[in-house]
Chains A and B, each alone.
Chain A
């Protein structure tokens, strides 16, 4: 890897891969920075919402096992929102396109067009949270993967607006093509104001860390 690639990969290690289960579409004119790390990927998604129904922005991923990186644009569309007196549910479509790069093994400085798409569903009230999302990624000879994951969560206490909010969650990820097909990650979500942080550890002892800041 050359210097640029090392810097890009290092930046992504401080960033996030998949979204942190926070809204991928913000309010009109809103910016959001999503930074996530888990045992497979690190990445960064910085998006801007021109309207309340879609957002667009940079997406970067560092796929650890594949020693591959992706840089491109991501479009998030709010397909449907269900607002009820005591709950809210959302359906999103998230897609991206760009370039992937790897020099692992037989891939000698392989550069390939890459794209991904997936859906995301969530439902929550003030006490419980559930979500599901999936993603198909195609990056030529570098990577072709399908991933899906689900979360359940419970708030141990109900905080008022402006309080520090705490959620205890369990994430289950299914990656059929991987050696470890199922990954279970108990995690804690904390948020206060416009900052959200998540930390957890998989059953294999690998760390998860996510950060979302909304501007």
Chain B
């Protein structure tokens, strides 16, 4: 019984660690979009993501059609939310890349 309890405790801890791992460092999201040609229009991206408490920074690269979003540690932005926000800002998402900034 004691062994069973220890194993289940270890399994629970392992599961918890695996779930938290992606959020343990600030996440950087690189989002490739179509339609990103106008600086004035692209302000909508800053306005929308700037409202979020879980976003610490945003950068727009008109040359590359790339939006870079810095997410605060212990937070994450799922693909669905990210895609909806970018679409609402006026653009089409073509790729999302995630990296961890230690």
Contact = CB atoms under 8 A, between A and B. Distances in A.
B66 to A, nearest CB: 10
Nearest to B46: A194
A161 B61 contact: yes
A97 to B, nearest CB: 27
A88 B47 contact: no
Interface in A117-168: 124-126, 159-163, 165
B92 A161 contact: no
Nearest to B42: A161
Given A27-B48, A191-B40, A83 B61 contact: no
B96 interface: no
Contact of A194 (B40, B59, B61, B91): B40
A85 B47 contact: no
B43 interface: yes
Interface residues of B, number: 28
Contact of A22 (B33, B40, B63, B65): B40
A72 interface: no
B17 interface: no
A2 interface: no
B39 interface: yes
Given A87-B35, A161-B60, A161-B61, A27 B90 contact: yes
Q: How large, as a class, is the contact surface on chain A?
A: 20 to 34
B37 A88 contact: yes
A30 B10 CA distance: 49
Contact of B35 (A28, A88, A191): A88
Contacts of A30: 44, 47
Nearest to A88: B35
A214 B87 CA distance: 18
Interface of B: 33-44, 47-48, 51, 59-63, 65, 87-92, 94
Given A194-B43, A214-B43, 10 more contacts: A23-B41, A27-B48, A27-B88, A83-B34, A83-B35, A85-B65, A88-B35, A160-B62, A161-B60, A193-B43
Interface of A: 22-23, 26-30, 51-52, 81-88, 124-126, 159-163, 165, 191, 193-194, 196, 212, 214
